[in-house]
Amino acid sequence: MFTKRNFLFLIAALLFAAPLAANAAPPPSDDPVAIVNAIYARAVAGKSGGGGWFVFENKTARAKYLSKSLNALWDKSEKLVEKGDIGAIDFDPVTNGQDSDIKSFKVVTEKTEADKTIVAATFVGLYSSSKTTVHYVMVREAGGWKIDEMYERDNKGDEGWSLRELHTDFIKMMQEHK
């Protein structure tokens, strides 16, 4: 039963919580490092079930995380995949592999411009002591930050990969084979 005492307690709790909410941290879409940190925290916690694939798993997820131009490129590439085949991306770009075996990670800003930021996520796997760094090119779009490119370049100077290059090369290959 809802009593006068319960009502007063509820009002007091709301009055106490209001100033705390006003001083809360800005939403993650306002901070590129916070966005990438949240992606890795979810991947490490295993809440996504597939590493960082939740970022790319469907059109809704891609619209949330990816820029309009990267999303359009991904859609164009995806339309060329024949039923039962694998498309341009056959690995998890967030974890740079097939398994989400990240033990620890650190996310830092490498370069900042007004509407573009490069964020580096460096992580160590559970079964390997070697470090991997995945770079995120973030762009400001519609009041928030979106991933416009992801790439990896290993410490040995090998070229690595780029989401845009993988999709562009896949599109070109599929169009040549028509």
Full strand arrangement of the beta sheet holding 102-112: 102-112, 116-125, 131-141, 144-152, 161-162
The whole-angstrom separation of Cα 107 and Cα 142 is 24
Residue 45 lies inside a defined structural domain of this protein: yes
Q: What is the CATH number of the domain that holds 50?
A: 3.10.450.50
> What pLDDT is recorded for position 50?
67
Tell me how far the alpha carbon of residue 178 is from its chain's centroid: 33
N-to-C CA span, the chain: 71
> What pLDDT is recorded for position 44?
86
The whole-angstrom separation of Cα 154 and Cα 132 is 7
Query: What domain count does the chain have?
Result: 1
Residue 116 token pair: 């573009």
- pTM for the model stands at 0.80
Residue 14 lies inside a defined structural domain of this protein: no
Structural domain of 162: 26-176
Average pLDDT over the chain, rounded to whole? 82
Residue 87 token pair: 């498309």
Residue 15 lies inside a defined structural domain of this protein: no
12 pLDDT band, cuts 50/70/90, is very low
User: Residues 107, 37: contact at Cβ < 8 Å?
Assistant: yes
Residue 48 lies inside a defined structural domain of this protein: yes
